[in-house]
Chains A and B, each alone.
Chain A
Amino acid sequence: MCGIVGLFAKSPVIEEHLGEHLAAMLVQMSSRGPDSAGVAVYRDPAPSGSSKLTLYSAHAGERWDAVRDGLTEAFGACAEPSVRASHAVFVVDADAADAERWVRTNRPNLRVMSAGHVIEIYKETGLPEEFATAFALEDFRGTHALGHTRMATESRVTTEGSHPFSTGFDLCLVHNGSLSNHNRLRENLRRVGIDFQTENDTEVAAGYLAWRLREGATLEQALEGCLDDLDGFYTFAVGTAEGFAVLRDPIACKPAVLAETDEWVAMSSEWRSIAVLPGAADARAWEPEPGVVYAWEKALV
């Protein structure tokens, strides 16, 4: 099981209400994934020369102001963090790689959920509806977003094992399915320097994409590489700063539906999630072909 949703705004009205629509889509996928939920939202680009980190702490009373003080001391400037439940978003006056390295070195108790210029990732165990409320998803404005509801099969139900998985700066992956060659592939990727934080199969797919992109592949080439190198069932949705892409395995074991209107493009595991969007009844809807990469992008603002 597991449920995937994606929403790409084509109008300012949808951008304004992105979080509200995303929450409604996510809640519809509760029966596919009641274990945990997560979203990646592309919004509020960090000013030029600075970067954005989403950090997670397992401790309810985390002193985020102390983290900010540390980042300020290291890089000169760091805005007040935006805290939502167990997560906090920092805009740091530094390169994303340097900022991320600082957190890993100096605050190893924190998890870097995402790093880049526009991406923010939030994920937590529990029902999608509880997640949407706890993280006030309806507040989010943004250009596009991905979401995931998880029914765990290959690894434990934890915040870290929830999706989306960040695969590099401003990149993320959500997955419906299971991979069978993830152990061997993880070892191979570790040898070429890809870092893994969990035993989760999806993180391996994310790491695979990160590796291919690092080696110079385009997102489309990296996704097409999945068809040869990943063994298992998958519908993937990949988020980038510019948009998102969808890929199903060649056997198409896992469901997916795409729909488009003048206002938005949406993908989901099931129509139920798309039916809640404005104008859905008149949307052009189709099932993505197996083994074909679908992508939507917009120019960076």
Chain B
Amino acid sequence: MAVAEREHAAVEVVDLETTPLRELNQRLHDLAAGGPGPRHWRVVNPSGAHAVACGLDAEIEVEIDGHVGYYCAGMNKLATVRVHGNASTGIAENMMSGRVEVDGNASQSAGATGRGGLLVVHGNASSRCGISMKGIDIVVGGSVGHMSAFMAQTGCLIVCGDAGEALGDSIYEARLYVRGSVASLGADCIEKELRDEHLAQVAGLLAAAEIDADPAEFRRYGSARQLYTFKVDNAAAY
């Protein structure tokens, strides 16, 4: 079913107090295969359940009223998922595309290994935010914890607050922008010049995240490309 054909006005409300989680996820998955259903979904009483709205693959909008457990909106593709609450470990882990937004705080490993799409956390994200990110863009309105962007490969992490220890340890080509303080940089991560194209990138992502901040106040960090893995002489070792 094409997106345009989905019913725009109707909102399907699913109460997780009375509906099994698997039933909710199955109904959302069925939309990917062209199954019937509206464009707009509302999930109530998540009560910290794990894997809410995981594996979506359709241009739908899912709003979740309350706090969610692990891996909410994991592997997301095309869909927009908004959590009106806090998210536990692994929100939007391995996201492919689409948009995931958390009104409150996110726990560890937010956006881990994400390959695309936009993750917005309006509160703080804790440790390992964007660990091994591979193309996802992450905008955090607050601060991030230690080991964020560890082994980050591509994509962009914008932090409007502070970053914890060992930011960007063993980073590859991802771009990190932090407005506040950085407790320490990880191995091979250095501060870099903030040029016009970077200002434009920050401005664009802040606008997309609907967060009001001055791009000029951010500092950019990235890879010094000095680790073993960057030496061409070592390529034959693999």
Q: Is the CB of B69 within 8 A of A270?
A: yes
Q: Is the CB of A287 within 8 A of B105?
A: yes
Q: Is the CB of B146 within 8 A of A252?
A: yes
Q: Is the CB of B107 within 8 A of A287?
A: yes
Q: Is the CB of A271 within 8 A of B69?
A: yes
Contacts of B48 in A (CB 8 A): 270-275
Chain B residues bordering chain A, tally (CB within 8 A): 19
Q: Is the CB of B146 within 8 A of A272?
A: no
Contacts of B68 in A (CB 8 A): 271
Q: Of all chain B residues, which has the CB nearest A255?
A: B89
Query: Mask for A248-260, Cβ within 8 A of B = 1, else 0?
Result: 0001100101000
Q: Is the CB of A271 within 8 A of B67?
A: yes
B81 → A minimal CB distance (Å)? 17
Grouping DSSP codes into helix (H, G, I), strand (E, B) and loop, the A interface class, with mixed when no group exceeds half, is mixed
Contacts of B89 in A (CB 8 A): 255
User: Cβ of A196 < 8 Å from any Cβ of B?
Assistant: no
A271 → B minimal CB distance (Å)? 3
Q: Contact size class for A?
A: 10 to 19
Known contacts A252-B146, A271-B48; A286 and B88 CB within 8 A of each other: no
Contacts of B104 in A (CB 8 A): 285
User: Cβ of B126 < 8 Å from any Cβ of A?
Assistant: yes
The docked-state distance in angstroms from the alpha carbon of A200 to that of B127 is 29
User: Cβ of B199 < 8 Å from any Cβ of A?
Assistant: no
User: Cβ of A85 < 8 Å from any Cβ of B?
Assistant: no
Contacts of A270 in B (CB 8 A): 48, 69-70, 88
Q: Which of B81-120 contact A (CB under 8 A)?
A: 86, 88-89, 104-105, 107-108
The docked-state distance in angstroms from the alpha carbon of A66 to that of B44 is 55
User: Cβ of A281 < 8 Å from any Cβ of B?
Assistant: yes
Q: Which of A247-301 contact B (CB under 8 A)?
A: 251-252, 255, 257, 270-276, 281, 285-287, 290
Contacts of A251 in B (CB 8 A): 146
B162 → A minimal CB distance (Å)? 12
Q: Which of B66, B69, B108 contacts A281 (CB 8 A)?
A: B66
User: Cβ of B37 < 8 Å from any Cβ of A?
Assistant: no
Q: Of all chain B residues, which has the CB nearest A291?
A: B146
The docked-state distance in angstroms from the alpha carbon of A272 to that of B86 is 12
Q: Which of A226-245 contact B (CB under 8 A)?
A: none
The docked-state distance in angstroms from the alpha carbon of A276 to that of B66 is 13
User: Cβ of B222 < 8 Å from any Cβ of A?
Assistant: no
Beyond the given pairs A257-B107, A290-B146, 18 more chain A to chain B contacts, judged by CB atoms under 8 angstroms and listed by A's residue number, are A252-B145, A255-B88, A255-B107, A270-B48, A270-B88, A271-B47, A271-B68, A272-B48, A272-B49, A272-B69, A274-B48, A275-B47, A275-B48, A275-B67, A281-B66, A287-B107, A287-B126, A290-B145
**Pairs A-B, 8 closest by C-beta atoms:** A271-B48, A275-B47, A272-B48, A275-B48, A271-B67, A287-B126, A252-B127, A287-B107
14 contacts between A and B (CB under 8 A): A251-B146, A252-B108, A252-B127, A255-B107, A257-B88, A257-B107, A271-B48, A271-B86, A272-B47, A275-B66, A285-B67, A287-B105, A287-B126, A290-B127
